């Protein structure tokens, strides 16, 4: 027979691959460092901008009603001095998807790329 049987070689290679895959994560170990304690002053939390949309589709910015056509300008004015503004969006679950996307689009056009979607956990809703 003039052919080489590669089946045993493939079996050995797969076993070696499995061994390396299992042992590699165990090899990388973090460095133990005892960190010093510092008295850091309290950093005031940044003002949070919350945009809320109720079930009727009315838009509020920080609990103040805003016409949806003026939302972009209002957000630009509120985030003028901020380097990396964040807006939290609270939308009623009964709203149509298109209405929520319209508000998200206005927020993005105001120059705000970081949008947090506010939600409640099932345990919180039961209370």
10 found inside a domain: no
CATH number for 93: 3.30.420.270
**pLDDT at residue number 28:** 61
Domain range enclosing 111: 49-126
115 found inside a domain: yes
Please say whether the beta carbons of 71 and 106 come within 8 A.
Answer: yes
pLDDT average, residue stretch 81-108 = 89
Least confident of 23-32, 86-95, 108-117: 23-32
21 found inside a domain: no
26 found inside a domain: no
**pLDDT at residue number 92:** 87
pLDDT in tens, 9-30: 899 999 999 998 888 777 765 4
37 found inside a domain: no
**pLDDT at residue number 79:** 87
110 found inside a domain: yes
**Helix or strand run (H / E) with residue 49:** strand 49-53
**pLDDT at residue number 45:** 55
Q: How many domains, the chain?
A: 1
């Amino acid at each position: 027979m003039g052919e080489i049987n590669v089946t045993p070689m493939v079996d050995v290679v797969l076993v070696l691959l499995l061994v390396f895959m299992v042992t590699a994560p165990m090899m990388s170990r973090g460095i133990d460092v005892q960190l010093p304690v510092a008295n850091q002053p309290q950093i005031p939390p940044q003002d949070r901008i919350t945009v809320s949309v109720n079930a009727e589709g009315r838009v509020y910015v920080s609990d103040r009603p805003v016409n949806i056509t003026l939302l972009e300008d209002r957000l630009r004015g509120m985030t003028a001095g901020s380097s990396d503004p964040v807006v939290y969006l609270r939308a009623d679950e009964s709203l149509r998807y298109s209405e929520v996307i319209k508000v998200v689009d206005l927020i993005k056009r105001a120059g705000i790329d970081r949008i947090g979607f506010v939600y409640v956990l099932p345990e919180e809703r039961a209370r």
